[in-house]
Structure formats: structure tokens, C-alpha cells
Structure 1
Amino acid sequence: MTDAFLEFNDVFVEETGVLVQGSVKLSDSSVAFRNESTGKVLTAPVAELHGVEWARLATTPGLRLVFEAPDDDHKAMQRTNLRIGGFKEKDQERISKFIENNWNKRVKEREHSIKGWNYGEANIKGPNLEFSVDGKLAFEVPLTNVNKCVAAKNEATLEFQDNDDAPVALTEMRFFMAEEEQGEDRVEAFRQMVLKYAGIETETGQAVATLEQILCMTPRGRYDIKVYPNHLSLHGKTYDYKIPTKSITRLFLVPHKDGRHMYFVISLNPPIRQGQTRYHYLVIEFVKDEHVDLELGMTQEQLNELYERKLEREQSGNTYEIVSRIFRALVNMRITVPGNFVGHSGTPAIACAHKQASGFLYPLEKGLLYIHKPPMYVRFEEISTIHFARSDVSTRSFDFEIELKSGSTLVFNSVEKEEYNKLFDFVSNKGLRIRNAKKMEKSYATDRFAGSDDEHDAYAETVKAEGKEKMADSDDSSEDDSDYDLDKDLEKRRKLKEPDEFSGSEPDEEFDSDANSESGSEEGEKESDGSGGSGGDDEDGEERPKKKKKSEPKEKKERKKKEKGEDGEKKGRKTKAKKDPNAPKRGMSAFMLWMGEARASLKKDGDSIGDVAKKAGELWKTIEGDEKKKWEKKAAEDKERYEREMKEYKKNGGGAVAEASSSGGAEREKTKKKIGSPQKSAKSKEFVESSDSESDSDDKPLKPKTKETKKESSASGSDSD
């Protein structure tokens, strides 16, 4: 009994100088090699297989699958030979038996030339260049890797594509050819064969499509893009790029978070390079509503022949749709679009940052796409674990960490908390392992740190409405507020702050009110001894700063004492009127009445008050017509009910609590007027009366001083000096 298929792991395929690891599956109809790093599957049909050889590849045995086709079959000629290495010696018998039974092919053993000579025969067999020495194969080069072919007098130079992953890269190879006697130009013939199978097209040919001033996010700038059958040409103000079509590995089309732009992403391997900078992705941004009419640069017959009737010559529609359609036919590859994931913003995009550069993360069906610094695509097969970091702290964001099987870690920070549960469910459904496997119970729909940029916060409006109701109840029960006169209140405050007519003519620091008070404190006695006994000290400028330093703290203490009563409570402040529990309940608005009835249907398990209020606010905006008029009518009836009950309430003597509180406030105002300002007790120089504090220093009463007395005292003071 023969096997239906054979599968081998830990094998490799040589690709532009790199041994790509993966697995191979041999079936009765095809050969499929799956790239371990990228997940890309390379499939070759058995029907196009010309021969199978068992040969040495690197240091291990391998299979060499030779594909050839007739000259008129252009597409079949584009398939290069497939060389798969990494097998073991014991696998030869098993593989040979399977191929003979299922493919009807005999596996031949192929020997290689190990002489190391550089003189031999160069044969172009389809898209493969074979160099043989003494009839044995020395090396083989796929012509699809050739980037340029230049012919000189007696030699042809092949330039190859760069591969950054290759430790040692082949960049150039030269073939010297002696002239024949017949005068045939062998170099030019060799060059034409290379160009035919290498798929190299010069820009002198007709472009399939020309797109002008296309905005590219990576590399940054606006470029004129010319699409040729075998490559793309990007012409910018500073740099130009040439991208072979065969280097395109994936295509993505995703929407911007704002809903007005679209991203078209082209994955490149090998990447394009500018200096030391390498661009693995070409990110193009389109305006979603931008419309264009485009005529392709080929006839309809040519398009049907090259692209199997997938393109029409006349193209009309949105720019991003036309470009996607052209690349879909050009590369013959499916375009990856977002799946079923929808974030908090209603789009598949999640706003985040990577290495302090903001961008968008797109959870797709088979991986995660990040745009745009740097753009990257992470397949689920490459992910080892996922961690939701900083998700248990009271912040508005968390970190989304991805640990790859290679050992490296990718961190996407500043992800909004509203995206936590949605992203958690998505990752769980994909079967990925989560380190902190716990779903967030608390909802962050109404964040306490939310700013004023929010369009509508129903919860905040509900709280404001309740506060207005409480304030309105207190306003109705207070008679003082209804008779409030702003001019009188300002005049009253001005009189309390201004000193009397005598104290206003002299500075406060010269005559301290504490010196003339009846308290008889020790500090007052000391100050009266130094300043109240003679007028010479009052006129001396050196003593004033000292007296000011002593009097200022006393004035503050005295004012605090006068402002407070004996029990220490502050006076003069208006207390809030107490609400009468028997007062009628105020009328409710139409929204509050409707919300009271709809609250039960809106609330779900786990919803907070803010969630319900937000849902109610959004739903209330959509209610119109008779439904809304019904609730407005109920609100009007409730308002009439309140006015009717309020009249009855006041008629029966309601509001006694408010009157008592207001009368208490009036008594305090009277007390405040009696106390007055601390500055009113200050005396002018012309009318200084005796006090108890002054009697301690001098038994004789002081007479009112006149201007002459001041002159005499100053004169005597000068004489004594």
C-alpha cells in the first residue's frame, strides 16, 4: 500500500542566497513548500514537472525538481526549478518509491562538478541558467533573481537583487565569451535570452497604468507611480524607486480610524532601500471619497491575454478601489481586508503607539497589522504569548505586549481601556495564550478623567439636573434670595471694609487698635509703653517698621476673634436653608420621565449607572414625533402639578424652616455690623484718649495734642540730642 502523501519538516529551500526553513508536502498532484517564517506556501503542479533528481544541496541530500515547457507556453516558462534540501539518506528510498507510484517519474541521481573551474558552458533552460564543467553541473542561477543585464564587447554582466537576510549576497556575475568566426554576436544573444526569462522591462515600454501624485506614508512623500507588467516605478522629488513585481508578498487594504481615508499596504521581500534605510512595506494613503477616471495603457486584447480578463481598459470609481483592482490582477494575489473585529470607535483600527510613535493596530483574521512607524505584520503563528500590561491600574490606557516565539517582544502602549474587552475576546477566540487571562469586569465607558471634548455625557447631565432640582428647592424656600439687591449688597460690603472718617487720614501701622483696647494684655502694655506715651516716637521713622511688625500679627488674630463667636464658629456667613420634607416634589423633565420608564430595558448585567445613562442619552436623541411629544406633555402636566401643590403648600403655612434660617441670617448680619472692622477702633493723632493700658505707664490723663505741642516736643527732642 502506497502513501497518499509524504510530509517532511525541517527542510529548506534556497531563495536569493538564503536557506529558508519550512516543511514540504508531496501529494499525487502537487508539491507544496510552506515558509516557516512568513507562512507563505509555494505550490508547484506535478503536471508541469519534467524531471526529478536526487542531488546534494549544501551539505545535505535534496530533491531537484526540473520544470520545462514548450516555447509557446509563456506562463509555464516562468517557473524556476525547485530545489529542496535537508533530507536524510534514509529518505531517498521512500521518496523515490512514492514518486514512481504517484507521479510516474523516475528519480535520477545528479552529480555536481567539484573541480572549481570557471571555464565551462552556460546554458539557459527556461528561467534557469545552468553552468556545467565537463558535463557536470557546477552551479545554477534562477534568472528571476537578475535585476539587470549589461552587454559589453566580449562579456555580459548580470546584476542580482539584494537580500538583506543573506549573510553573503551575490551582487554581480560576469561571463566572458570569445568571438566566433562567423561574426555572430554571442553576447547580445545571451543578453536577449536573459531579458526574456528574467522578466526585466525597461521604462521605454508602455506602462499599464500611471498614477500621479500619490501620497505615500512609507517612504514619506508624494510619488508618480507607473505600473509595468513586471515592476513598479516610483518617481518623487528627491528619490526614485524600482520595485519588481515578484518581490510583492502581501497586499492589505484597511480603513483609517477617522473613516475618511484608506490605507493600501504592499509587503515587499526583499525591501526597497535608500541608503541604510530599508522599507519592507509600501504604505499608500487615499482619500476615501476621491474619484478618478483612468484609461489603462494597453489594449483590451493585451489585458485579457496577460491578466485573464480581470482588468477592463476603462476604469472609473474611487481611487483606492481602482489601485486595488490593478494590483490584484498584476500580482495575482488576494488582498487582505479586516475581518469581524470592530473596536470601540466602530472601526477595525485601534489607536496605540509603538516606541513613542503613534499609529493604528488592525486585528486581522490571520495576524496583526500595525501602521505606520514602522509598519509590521505579525502572524498568529509567530506569537508565543500575549500580555495586557498595566490593565489593573486606575489609568485610561494599558499596554498590549506580544511575545514572539523568536524571543523578541513587541509593545503597543497607550491603548484605551475601552478596547480591553474587545481585544481580549478577539485574542481568546483565535486561541492565543494570554498571560493575564482575565476579562475586565469594570466598564470604562464613562471615565472620570474624560474631558470636555466628549460629544454627549448623559451621566453628567443627569447629575447636573439633580443638582439644579436641589438648588431650585432651596431657592423657593428662601425669601432673601428673591429680594436680593446687588447694589445694596456691594454698598454694605464697602462700608464694612472702609475705616471711619478719622482713621482714614493716618496709616494703620502708627495707631494700633490693640493698644487702646480694654483687654489689658501684656503685649498691648508693652506696645503702649513704647509708642503711646510720647509723640516723638510717632514721628520717628526708624520706629515705624518695628511697630508694624508687631501690630500686623495682632490685627490678624483680633480679626479672627471678632469674626468668630464665643463658641469658635464663624459668623457672618449665610448658611444653606434647610429643605422642608413636606414640600412638594418638583416637576421632572421629559427626558427624566422617559428614562425612569426605560431604565429597566436599557440596563444589562454588568452595566454601571454611567453606561445606562449614556445609552439613554443616545437613544433619546433618536426619539422624535408623537413619541417625544407624549413625554413632553407628561412633563408639562407634572410641572402644573408642582405649581398647584406649591400654592397649597404656601397657603397652609409652608416654608417655616426657610424663614427661620433666613431670620437667623439677619441676626448674624446685625451682629456683624456691631462688630465692624478692626480698623474702626484706630484713633487719629489729634484725638488720643486715655485707656487702661496707658494708665499703667502714666497716671495723669493725656491732653489732646495740637500742632504746636508737636512742634515743641520735636524741638525739645532736637535740643536733647
Structure 2
Amino acid sequence: MTDLEFSNVFLENMGVLIPGTLKFDGTSAVFKSDKKIVKVQVSDIKGIRWQKLGNKPGIRFALQDGSSQRMGGFKDSDFEKVNSFTDSNWNVRIVQSDLFIKGWNYGHAEVKGKNILFSSEKQPLFEIPCTNVSQCVANKNEAILEFHQNENIPVSLMEMRLYMPVDPEMEDETDKVEEFKKAVLAYAGLEAETEQPITLLTDILCTTPRGRYDIKVYPTSIALHGKTYDYKIPVKSINRLFLVPHKDGRHVYFVLSLNPPIRQGQTRYSYLVFEFVKEDDQEMEITLTDELEEKYGNNLKRDLDGPLYENVSILFKVVCNLKVTVPGRFIGNSGTPAIQCNHKQNPGLLYPMEKGFLFIHKPVMYIRFEEISSCHFARSDAGTVTRTFDFEVDLKNGSSLMFNTMEKEENAKLFDYLNKKDIKIRNSTRIDNKKNDVDSSDEEHDPYKATVTAEGRGKDNSDDDESTDEDYDLDKDLKKQKVDRDSSEGSGSEPDDEYDSGSEEDASGTGESEPDEENSGNKKKKSEKTKKSREPMKPKLGKNGKEKKEKKVKDPLEPKRATTAYFLWFQANRLSFKEDGDTVADVAKKGGAKWKEMGSDDKKEWEEKAAKDKARYEAEMKEYKKNGGGSSSASTSAKPAKKAPTSSPTKYKSKEHISDSDDSDSDEEPKKAKKKPSREATPSDDSDENDIASDNSDDDSD
């Protein structure tokens, strides 16, 4: 006997088509994918049907417990292969069943096994597993079905209403709606509120979603009743349980992982986080029927005594039939398995577990090791001395998670932990730190930080007057400024000039110079001052050395610009590929990749919308310009014409100017001052010579 295997087959799970491979052997049919493995034993099979699934041939396994498994993606020619294999090896023949797809609105609804079957003229239209139903409400002649939501699909069925009229000829007819509701709730794993719960937990603090709730635990569901919101969670949607201690040592977190998550408005919560005080002891009474005692065996007692968090974890462990995951051997610097850090500026605790990382909270997340490609220890430059580091986790799907501001003492412990788990570290350098050695030798020397620190210390030590606080005396300050102006050279209305260290002044700083060079030195100072006053204001320059342009003021009446086809498509489909924890850049990257993969037929709709928007913009812009729009903005953006520099008469004459004019009365031609380079003028500047010549002519006229 040879096994039969099919690739490119998909498994239907709450509207999601999971791709994988299906293999038939002598005892079972096994479906394998990256996310899920489903095994159907021959002994559990009640019947097999060949029917359409997602517009492709598929196979439906009806099981003995009333449930079913549906797989599709086959070819029409595969029917003979599968039928001959099951007939010869399993002794089960496959029945071909064509769906009735005429689209009639009238039909018959009944619960068969664990599925709701809709049929018309004794032919099936479609079926829905009862386990997908989150609530069923009976309202006179109408039954309302609400369904669990799956976050992995963009479109899902929210609600369905079935009208069941009463036949007036049959007076003793039973209530169809109530009978239908009872059958759906029985197989959907839901219990009515009127039934007795196993136990009641009052005033339990829940940090995610925030609030205090009364919790009713039923064998198949958990009901949370708060002041504003109520939730009903099926037990089958709880897939993991965590019990971790808080870093303070006084509190404990009990975490429930949900799939699908619960909703609070537009917010989805994939985790429930309950917080308990470690020293809170409370007796818990459990109501167990004979059927429940047989179901749970000796794992659950009628009376539980001890810490409340232990009793709750035992109760959920038995009811959900799941293991409670606790921290492993990792112990951080605080003596607990928790590491204090931030994620996207939200403070929380990171727990290195045996098979992944658990972060609490905002958002609560569990990162399995099999999803991680590598880790990275990054340096954090929060201060002059690095006391923290950043921990980056790279996932196999291409995204990354960053946990900031971890204490430096956690570096070596986390590094050894990752090595034991055989997780790749991109910068495999282990740093040992001493707790009391802040400026340790392993710190990298940063010259820029050292320079800034030294300059700051120098400024603090340079001014002794700033060491004490004194009252500000306005009159004293004004007198001081007047004395400084009178004692300085030149006119009091002109600012002091800066000179290069290579000037011909006396090194003593008194301003005295040799008698032969006095006239030329004074004239050069005066020419530089005059040049500054006549020189036009230079335009402001940007970082690239180009002149800055004035910012244009947008006209509010100007029409809105046309939108491209990509942005129209992106705005309409952004939420479809956005996932929890994605940044704006991540969503844009995913949108660009999806747009590139789309064909011309898929883009045609959005390109037509973009063309209509462009035509709209051109028409509105034409009307806008016709009414005189755009002229005001153009006039405001135009640069004003530069005025020619004009020399204003000097109001006051300095001592040097008077002495220069007296010396210039002689018939001898005044000597031209030698040019001296300054910060404002360069040797190649022609305007210097013109300014000096005009100064000489003024002196001659005097």
C-alpha cells in the first residue's frame, strides 16, 4: 500500500483557508501546515462527502462526535484517486454532494450533529459549525445568530437572522425558535445565564481590559460582568494560561490568551490579565454535579482553601484542560524573573519563559522562540554614562520588536539565557558590570560628550559672580553701560569692531600705535566701519548654502489636489493588512508591497477613480484661476527689490576723524591705508577700495 499525498490543499477554519499538505495513510488523514496540524483517524470517521469548497472541489469528513473537518483545493480528477484509496484501505466510499446554489431566500434550517444545515428542496445550501456561534437570541418568530470574529480575515460574518413563521393550522405546534435556540446553544458550547455556575468570583481586578469584574465560571464559558461592559468567553477560545509574579514581590499576574479576542468598541483584546495580591487568602466553593465530578475526576475539589491566585489558576487549569505556564529558571537582577523595560514608551515587564517571551503590558504579547530569527543588544544613549541598554527581537516575518531602557545589570543574565536557548545574537558580546562601578572601564569613550562636559565645568568655574544670587540693580547697570561706551574708542552710536590677532596694535591692548602709522590705522578702522554701514544685508542661507526661499501662504479657497490611484487604494484597504503593534512605517511598507503584487486588472478600478479626481481638480482649478485665484499668493511670494546702499551723513565726529581732517589740509596727497584682512571683507573685495576712496575724499573736503 502506498500513501496518497496532495499539496496546495487548504483547511477551512472559521473563514480562513490555511494552506498545507494532506496525506492519506492506512489509519488516518493528516493535514500539515506552518500554523496547524489536523489528524483525522479512520475510527472517528462517520462519512466522507465530495463537495465544493471555495469554488474548488473539496472533501468533508463527518466525525462520530457530530463535528466535521473540511479541506479544499483539489482537482476534479482527484476524486477517483481519493475514492479508490478510501474504498480499498478504509472500506469507506465517498459520496458526491452538489451544493444547491440557486440563491433562494426560503429553505429549512436544522441542527445536525454540531452543524447548522440550511437546505432547500432537500438539497444542502450551506452549513455553519455551531462552535462558530457566540450567541443565539430568540425573538418571537425570529432567531438571531451572532458569530465569533476571526482577526486573520478581512471580511467575516457578524450576524444572521432566521425567520421561522408559525403555521396557523397547527395549534399545538411547539415553538420552533426556542427549540432551534436550545439545539444551537447545546452544541455551541454555550450555557444560558439562568443555569448554575460552577463558582462566582467577585470584585476581581483586571488590568487588561481595565476594570473590576464579577466572574461566573461555567463548564463551557466564562462570563465577566463589569460596571460598563459584559463579556462572555467560550472556554474553547482560551488557548494558554500564564501565572507570573510581579517585580515588587507582592502581586501576581494571571494571564489568559484568547483566540479569537474579545472586543471593546473598536479595540480588541487577545489577552486577559488579572492581578492578585499575593497574601490574599480566600475560600472558594465549587458547585459540582455528578456529571462534572465524573468529567473532572479528582482534579477539582468542592472546597479550595489558600491564596486566591492559586485557587483561580487551579480552577481554570481544570475547566480549560490546559497547563499553567510559569517562569523557568531565569532570575533577573531584581531577584525575580521579571525585567523592567519599555515598549513604545509604555512601561512594562518582560518575562523570559521556557518557550518564549511574555510582555505585560500595553500591549500584552507572547513571543514564541520559534517565531524569532535573532536578537540584538543595542546601546542606549540616554545620559552621559550608559546605565541602560535596548533589547531588539527580530521576527521571521520581517518585523522587529524593541524593548528599551533595560538595566545594564540585566545584560549578562539575558545574554546567557539566550545562549542556553540557542537563539542567534547578532552582536554576540557579553558585558559584565559591577553594580557600584558607574564609570567602569567597559564604557566606551565618547570624545564629544567629554568635550561638552569639560566646557560646562569650565563655564561654571569661570564666573565667580554667578555663584551667589544678587538683586538686579537697573540704575547701576545703566551707569556701567554708559561708562563702557565713553571709555571705548570711536562714536558711541557705533558697535565695537573685532580685529584679527595679527593687527598692528600694541600688544598691551591700550590702542596706542606708532606715530608714522597713526593716520593710516585710524583711516582703516573708519573705512571698515563705514563699509559695514553701507554694506547691504546679506540674505539668509540654508544648510546647503543656498538662499532660503520665503514660505508661500496657501490660499484656503484653492482646490484640493488630485489623489493618485495608490493612495485611494491605500486609504480604503489600510485596515485590512494592519496588525497589532504595527507602526505607520510598517503599514506603509506592507501597502507598497501589496500594490506591487496587484495586477493591472485589480488596479483598473482605482486608476479610474484617480482619473475622475484629476478631472475634478483640473476643472476646479480652471474656475479658481478664472475668478482671480492665485494672483495674491504669487504677489506675496515675490521677493522685494533690493535698495541701492546710500551713505547717510555722520551725526558726530570722533576724535580721530577731526585729527584726520586737520592733517589733510596740506597740499600733499594723503597716503592710502594698507588693506588689512578682516572677517567681513576679503582681499578680493572691490568695494573696499571704493569705500576707502570715498573716505579720503570726505577728509579732503573737510
Bucket of the pairwise TM-score, normalised by the shorter protein: 0.5 to 0.7
User: In structure 2, how many angstroms separate the alpha carbons of the residues matched to 1:54 and 1:136?
Assistant: 14
Looking at structure 1, the residues matched to 55 and 218 of structure 2 have their Cα atoms a distance apart, in angstroms, of: 40
Asked whether the 8 Å contact 1:14–1:20 carries over to 2, the reply is: yes
Choose which of 386, 390, 414 in structure 1 pairs with 2:379.
390
Q: Distance in 2 between matches of 1:88 and 1:425?
A: 52
State the secondary structure of the residue aligned to 2:305: strand
8 Å contact kept, 2:380–2:405: no
Call closer, same or farther: CA 1:354–1:171 in 2, change over 3 Å. same
Does the alignment pair 1:65 with 2:61?
yes
2:145 to 148, 158, 164: 158
- Does residue 73 of structure 2 align to residue 86 of structure 1? yes
For 2:29 and 2:355, locate their aligned partners in 1 and report how far apart those are by CA, in whole Å.
23
Q: Pick the aligned partner of 1:430 from 417, 421, 427.
A: 421
TM-score, scaled relative to structure 2: 0.58
Q: Among 80, 88, 106, which residue is 2:93 paired with?
A: 106
C-alpha distance in 1, partners of 2:78/2:325?
A: 38
Question: Which piece of structure 1 moves more, 58-67 or 15-24?
Answer: 15-24
Quickly say closer, same or farther: Cα 1:247–1:9, change in 2 above 3 A: farther
1:297 aligns with 287
Q: Please give the alpha-carbon distance, in whole angstroms, between the structure 2 residues aligned to 1:123 and 1:110.
A: 18
Task: Work out whether residues 303 and 313 of structure 1, in 8 Å CA contact, stay in contact via their aligned partners in 2.
Answer: no
What is aligned with 1:498?
A: none
**In structure 1, what residue type is equivalent to 2:263?**
R
Helix, strand or coil at the partner of 1:329: helix
For 1:229-378, list aligned pairs within 5 A.
Answer: 229-299=219-289, 301-378=290-367
Q: 1:138 to 1:217 in 2, by over 3 A?
A: same
Distance of 1:344 and 1:293 partners within structure 2: 35
Structure 2 counterparts to residues 532-611 of structure 1, below 5 A = none
Q: Secondary structure at the match of 1:291?
A: coil
Q: What letter matches 2:17 in structure 1?
A: L
Q: Which residue does the alignment assign to 2:12?
A: 14
* CA 1:42–1:338: 2 relative to 1, 3 Å: farther
Distance 1:136 1:434, change over 3 A: farther
Aligned-partner Cα distance in 2 for 1:28–1:418: 57
Match of 1:131 in 2: 118
Q: CA RMSD in A?
A: 3.2
| Higher helix proportion | 1
Residue 407 of structure 2 is matched in structure 1 by 416
Q: In structure 1, what is the equivalent of residue 587 of structure 2?
A: none
Deviation string, structure 1 residues 636-695 (Cα, Å, up to 9, x no partner): xxxxxxxxxxxxxxxxxxxxxxxxxxxxxxxxxxxxxxxxxxxxxxxxxxxxxxxxxxxx
Distance in 1, matches of 2:86 and 2:421, equals 38
**Cα distance, 1:210 vs. partner?**
0.9
Q: For the residues of structure 2 that align with 1:251 and 1:91, how far apart are their CA atoms?
A: 42
| Per-residue deviation, residues 370-419 of structure 1 (Å, max 9, x unmatched) | 11111001122222332222279962222111222332221111122322
Residues 102 and 379 of structure 1: CA distance in aligned 2, closer, same or farther (over 3 Å): farther
Provide the rounded CA distance (Å) in 2 between the counterparts of 1:35 and 1:328: 28
Structure 1: give runs of 5+ residues left out of the alignment. Answer: 69-75, 452-541, 551-721
Q: Mark the CA change 1:32 to 1:178 in structure 2 (over 3 Å): closer, same or farther.
A: same
1:288-322 Cα shifts (integer Å, max 9, x gaps)? 232221111234x2321332442111111221221
| Separation in 1, partners of 2:132, 2:248 | 41
- Find the aligned partners of 2:196 and 2:353 in 1 and give their Cα distance: 37
Please say if 1:194 is aligned against 2:184.
yes
Change (3 A) 1:264 1:103: farther
Q: Distance in 1 between matches of 2:400 and 2:308?
A: 37
**Normalising by the residue count of structure 1, what TM-score does the alignment of the two structures yield?**
0.56
1:182 Cα deviation (Å)?
A: 3.0
Q: Which letter does structure 2 place at the counterpart of 1:147?
A: S
CA deviation after TM superposition for structure 1 residue 88, in Å: 5.1
Matched with 2:532 is none
Aligned twin of 2:677: none
Find the aligned partners of 1:34 and 1:348 in 2 and give their Cα distance. 35
2:205 partner letter: L
Alignment partners' CA distance in 2, 1:22 and 1:435: 32
Map Cα deviations across residues 121-140 of structure 1 (whole Å, 9 max, x no partner): 32321110111234433211
Q: Which has the higher contact order (CA 8 A, sep 6+)?
A: 1
> In the alignment, is the contact (CA less than 8 A) between 1:9 and 1:22 conserved in 2?
yes
How far apart, in 2, do the equivalents of 1:123 and 1:194 lie? 9
Larger Rg: 1
Quick one: structure 1 residues 253 and 85, their matched pair in 2 at CA, closer, same or farther if it must change by over 3 Å?
farther
Matching of residue 401 in structure 1 with residue 392 in structure 2: yes
Aligned partners of 1:421 and 1:439 also within 8 Å: no
Q: Partner amino acid for 1:105?
A: V
Tell me the alpha carbon deviations over residues 191-234 of structure 1, each in whole angstroms, 9 at most, x when there is no partner.
22222222221222111111112111111122211111222122
Q: Secondary structure at the match of 1:292?
A: coil
- How far did 1:265 drift? 0.7
The Cα of 1:190 is off from its aligned counterpart by: 2.1
Name the count of aligned residue pairs: 442
Query: CA contact under 8 A between 1:12 and 1:84: conserved in structure 2?
Result: yes
Residue of structure 2 in register with 1:140 after alignment: 127
In structure 2, which of residues 101, 104, 119 is the aligned counterpart of residue 117 of structure 1?
A: 104
State the 1:369 CA deviation. Answer: 1.2
Distance in 2, matches of 1:413 and 1:88, equals 52
